[in-house]
Structure formats: C-alpha cells, structure tokens
Amino acid sequence: MTDIAENIITTPSDLLARGRDFDVRDRVVVITGGGQGIGREYARQLGAAGAIPVIADVNADSGARVAEEVRSAGGRALAIATNVADADSVQNLIDGTVEEFGRIDVLVNNAAIFSSLAMRPFEEIPVDEWRSVIDVNVTGTYLCARAVAPVFKKAGWGRIINIASGAVPLGVPNYLHYVASKAAITGITNSLARELGKFGITVNAVQPGGTFTEVPRETVTAEGKVKLVANQCIPREEVPADLSGAVIFLCTNAAEFITGQTIVVDGGLTHK
C-alpha cells in the first residue's frame, strides 16, 4: 500500500512539480461555437493561460474575430469555419487542426442553438425547429466526438468537455427541444466516459446556470433575471468568465482521474 506521506508536498521543487499538473500551456483546444457567448470566453481565457484555442464556429467572421482577440492579447489561436451538424465539415475541422498543430489535446463541445429560440409551449414548437436543435446540440456533439476520437486514441490521451445546462434539472418550461438536447448531453457524457476511459481519454460535462453574455435573449426579462439571481446562493448574475475555471481545470493533468462527471457551475442555483 502506498504511504500517504509520499504524496505530501514538502519542498519548493515538489510544489513546482505539482503546479505543472494545472498547466495548460501549448495544449490545443478545439472549441465549437467559439465565436460568441461562453465559447468566446473559453477561447479568451484558455488563450490567456497559454493554451491554443481553435475556434470552430458556423459564422466564419465571428470565429476569426475571436481568434484575433486571442492573438491581440499575446496568445495563439486558429479559426476554422465549421457546421457541427455536418460530418464533412467536422472532419475538416479535425483534419485542419491536426495539420496545423500536429495534434489535438482537448475538445470542448459548446456549439448549441439556444439564444435564438422563442419560448413557447411544446405543442407549438415547429418540427423543423425541433430537428435543427437536435441536429446541432446533440448530433453535433456526437459528430465532433466521433471525429476526434481516433486522434486521441492514437495519442493515448485526450479530454472531451461537453457543455450541459441547468435547464435540465430545473425542468425549464417552454424550451422542450433545448432541454431535451441538453439532457442528451449528460447521457452522452456518461456513456462516452465508459467507452473511452481505457484509451486515456476523459469525458466530462460542465453545467452552467443562467449565464448572461453579449448575445441578446429577448425571452429573458429584467424581472426574470432578478428572480433567477434571487434563487442562487451567490446573489449576482452569472457571466461567462465564471465557467472558464472549470473548463480549464478539466483540460489539465490534475483532472486525469475525473471522468463521467458533470460539474455544476451555477452559483448554487441547483445545489443539493
């Protein structure tokens, strides 16, 4: 049995060595939906920490702007226009990233249809809209994981971080397609963790609460914001930067024995 004392940090060099476990410098991190909202903040914060974000967004201009923001702050970044619901486009993302950097270390499955959705009873959701949400939010996550898996398996190391949603445990009404899609993300995370663990690949999810970004949401009123914040343990609005710490941590060696988990970052809105 290993002596617990062997793991105690006793010298400055031990502390330095342990600190490297939290280092993300030079890690190549693909972020889908990275051109705006919380994906944009993941890219900016990872770039500031020394990682190399690859911004994959269906809007080429938005992705390019975020990549330039990272570079202007002294980091490195790449933007690749990507439709996550299209298998060929996703494969182009993976191939283009490997061609540029020789590897991929982390995939952040963040792309999702949400802010543009109108709140309405589930009977009134157009079938085409339902299918679009499932195609991007669920099938897109599957396609990206499927495309990057061979790269990770060859390396014997990799991180998949899926972005879930607090809308699922809250049972938020009038967003049934979105809630259903994010419930699927939790299931995908749990199942993929079982399939990929033997290859040195971890799969986890980060569950945001009601996060307010630069992307307008006409369905959220000032009164709704006040009510949301009032139900949190930490009584202030959640912003994208609140989520970056959990994502960055999951990119590190320090998180190598964490898989199949959902980390809730919502100011205590849904705490147990």
Does the predicted TM-score (pTM) go above 0.85?
yes
Write the pLDDT tens digit of every residue in 15-52.
455 556 899 999 999 999 999 999 999 999 999 999 99
CB 71 within 8 A of CB 79: no
Three-class secondary structure of residue 145 per DSSP:
helix
Q: Where are the alpha helices (DSSP H) in the chain?
A: 12-19, 37-48, 60-72, 87-101, 127-134, 140-155, 167-170, 176-196, 222-230, 241-250
Q: Indicate whether 270 pLDDT > 80.
A: yes
Is residue 175 part of the annotated active site? The answer reads no
Write the pLDDT tens digit of every residue in 113-162.
998 898 999 999 999 999 999 999 999 999 999 999 999 999 999 999 99
- The active-site residue, picked from 42, 142, 175, 178, is 178
Q: What does the pLDDT read at residue 1?
A: 45
| Angle ∠(174,177,180) on CA atoms, nearest 5 | 110
What is the number of other CB atoms lying within 10 angstroms of the CB of residue 249? 17
Q: Indicate whether 216 pLDDT > 70.
A: no
Write the pLDDT tens digit of every residue in 56-90.
999 999 999 999 999 999 999 999 999 999 999 99
